[in-house]
Structures are given as structure tokens and as C-alpha cells.
Structure 1
Amino acid sequence: MTDTLISLISILIGIIGANSAGYALKKYSFGLIGNTIAGVFGSIFLIKSFGRLGFNPFSIMKNETFHSWLFIINCIVSFLGGALAIIFIKKLKHKMNNSNKA
């Protein structure tokens, strides 16, 4: 596996996380396309923010070896990033709509 492939897998898992969270939590859903976009940006944001702890794609493939535990942590963080993104965006949208009415 290369660093690019790991990054693409992370983004795909973020999309799955956002769409599954949108399916489970109907009040936070933006539909298929909205959840997909939120999943992409949420997984990228969380991996870039917390990836410096050692589970970014470069650390997973350090010295041309594959570290499976780091990859599993990366997948979990990507999934959570996608799921948390739709919740955060929905709360932000709600807060912005309330501030416009006041």
C-alpha cells in the first residue's frame, strides 16, 4: 500500500461514517450528497488534526513497512470524523439560522 491509497481509503471510510450516521440520526442528515461531502471534509480534517499523533498515512508506511494497528486507528478516526462532521455542520447551520432571525 502507498500513502496515497491509505489516504483514499481514509476518505472513503469517512464517507461511510457520515452516511451511516446520517442514516442512524435522521435529524442530522443532509441527504446522500450532503453527507458524502461532509464525510470527505470531516475525515480529512480529523486526520490532519490528530494525525500528528502517529497514525497519518506517512507513519503507517514508515520505512516501507505496513503498520496495521496504526491503519486501524486511522480508519476509526476517519469514521468518527465523517460522523462528527454532519453533527457539527447541522448544529452550525441551526445556530446560523437562529442568528439571522434575531
Structure 2
Amino acid sequence: MTATLISLISILIGIIGANTAAITFKKHSLGVIGNTIAGVFGSILFIKSFGRLGFDPFTIVKSGSINVILFFLNLLVSFLGGVIALILIKKLKIILNKNT
């Protein structure tokens, strides 16, 4: 598995996280397309921010094989990134609509 494939899997997990959060917390839903976009950006933002701690895609495949623990940590951070991005974007949308 290459670092690019791990990155794509991470983005997919972020999308799943955002859509799962939207189903669980109906008031935070932005629609299917909005949830998907929030999941993509949240996943990328969290992996780029927190991946420097040692679980970015390149570190996962650095030894030539996959470090399973780092891979699952990467997926967990991607999932949480999608969930948190969805909630924050919905709160930002509410704040911006109050000011108009």
C-alpha cells in the first residue's frame, strides 16, 4: 500500500465520519454534499495538523511495510476530523446567519 492510497483512504474515512455525525446529530447536517465537503476538509486538516506527530501516510509506510497501529490512528484522526469539521461548519453557518 502506498502513501497516496493511505491518504485517499483517510479522506474516505473523514467523509464517512461527517456523514455518520450528520445522521446521528440531525441538527448538524448540511445535506449530503455539504457533509461530504466538510468530511474531506476536516480529514485533510486534521491529518496535516496532527500527522506531524508521527502518523502521516509517509511515516506509516516508511519501513516498507504498513505500521498497523499508526494506520488505525490515522483513520481515527480522519474520522474525528470529519465529525469536528461538520459541527464547527454548522456552528459557523448559524453564527453568520444571525448577523444578517
Instruction: Output one character per residue of 1:23-82: Cα deviation in whole Å (capped at 9) or x when no partner.
Output: 000000011111011100000000001000001001100121210000000000000000
Task: State the distance in 1 between where 2:90 and 2:13 align.
Answer: 20
Structure 2: tracts of 5 or more residues without a match: none
Amino acid at match of 2:33: I
Instruction: Output one character per residue of 1:8-34: Cα deviation in whole Å (capped at 9) or x when no partner.
Output: 000000000000000000000011111
Please, what TM-score do these two structures have when normalized by structure 1? Answer: 0.95
* Structure 1 position 99, deviation (Å): 2.3
Please, what TM-score do these two structures have when normalized by structure 2? Answer: 0.97
Task: State the distance in 2 between where 1:93 and 1:77 align.
Answer: 24
Amino acid at match of 2:49: S
Structure in which a larger fraction of residues adopt helix = 1
- 2:52 maps to 52
- 2:68 maps to 68
- 1:84 maps to 84
Task: State the distance in 2 between where 1:31 and 1:2 align.
Answer: 32
**How many positions carry a matched residue from both structures?**
100
| Two-structure CA RMSD over aligned residues (Å) | 0.7
Structure 1: tracts of 5 or more residues without a match: none
Amino acid at match of 1:22: A
Task: State the distance in 2 between where 1:76 and 1:63 align.
Answer: 21
- 1:34 maps to 34
Query: 4+ runs of 1 displaced by more than 4 Å?
Result: none
